[in-house]
């Protein structure tokens, strides 16, 4: 989309290089463009041959290679039980999630796979050109992974920002309320 998200993420990664290893989670089609960007924009002292590990499939995971400083994995591969477990064991201190709106549904496999990794990391950066999508409820998993508990429970968040209402079939949190307040929180 040309918003400069990747360059901002690269600056973030470079600034905290002393805290690597880093994990970069991307849509499948973006794994190799991220390799190109890392090699193009980061100082060669940070990114040497063998420092980037691209997870290609469930058979070659080997996430915690000693020489790897940055591991790139796609959202679909992260749902692979073996890869997810290796990511959790590797204890990445820095995590970048490109197109973070992919983790909008708290019940989706990719959200369940990524959120614990984000919560365990020392530093996280979530990138999205369209974070709110259609409903504020889509933001909750992302916000809660960055600052666990800061928005309360999902129920609290839904009542405050999603105009949650009890319907005959259960709670409906598909609306929006207090959006200016939410915008203020997001832009602090």
Count of residues for the chain?
Answer: 188
Strands 52-54 and 22-26: unpaired
User: Number of folded domains in the chain?
Assistant: 2
Determine the pLDDT at residue 64: 54
Determine the pLDDT at residue 23: 95
Quick one: 85 and 164 in the same domain? no
Q: Is the per-residue pLDDT at 62 higher than 80?
A: no
DSSP one-letter string for 79-142: TSHHHHHHHHHHT-SEEEEETGGGG--TTSHHHHHHHHHHHHSSEEEEE-SSSSTT-GGGGHHH
Higher pLDDT, 84 or 57: 84
pLDDT tens-digit map of 94-145: 999 998 888 877 778 888 889 899 989 999 999 888 756 458 888 888 888 8
Quick one: 92 and 121 in the same domain? yes
Determine the pLDDT at residue 4: 83
Quick one: 39 and 123 in the same domain? yes
**Is residue 29, in this structure, part of any structural domain at all?**
yes
CATH of the domain at 36: 3.40.50.10810
* 30-63 b/e (C-beta count within 10 Å ≥ 16 → b): bbeebbebbeebbeeebbeeebbbbbeeeeebeb
CA atoms within 13 A on the CB side of 85: 4
Quick one: 126 and 166 in the same domain? no
């Amino acid at each position: 989309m040309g918003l400069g998200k990747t360059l901002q993420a690269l600056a973030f990664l470079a600034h905290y290089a002393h805290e690597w290893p880093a994990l970069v989670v991307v849509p499948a089609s973006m794994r190799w463009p991220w390799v190109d960007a890392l090699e193009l924009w980061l100082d060669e002292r940070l990114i040497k041959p063998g420092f980037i590990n691209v997870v290609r499939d469930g058979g070659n995971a080997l996430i915690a290679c000693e020489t790897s400083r940055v591991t790139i994995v796609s959202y679909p591969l992260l749902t692979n039980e073996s890869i997810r477990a290796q990511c959790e064991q590797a204890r990445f201190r820095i995590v970048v999630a490109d197109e973070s709106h992919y983790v909008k549904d708290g019940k989706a496999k990719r959200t369940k796979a990524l959120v614990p990794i984000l919560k365990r990391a020392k530093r996280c950066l979530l990138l999205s050109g369209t974070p709110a999508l259609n409903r504020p409820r889509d933001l909750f998993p992302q916000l809660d992974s960055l600052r666990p508990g800061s928005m309360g429970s999902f129920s609290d968040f839904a009542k405050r920002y999603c105009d949650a209402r009890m319907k005959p079939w259960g709670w409906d949190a598909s609306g929006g309320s207090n959006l200016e307040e939410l915008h203020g929180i997001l832009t602090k």
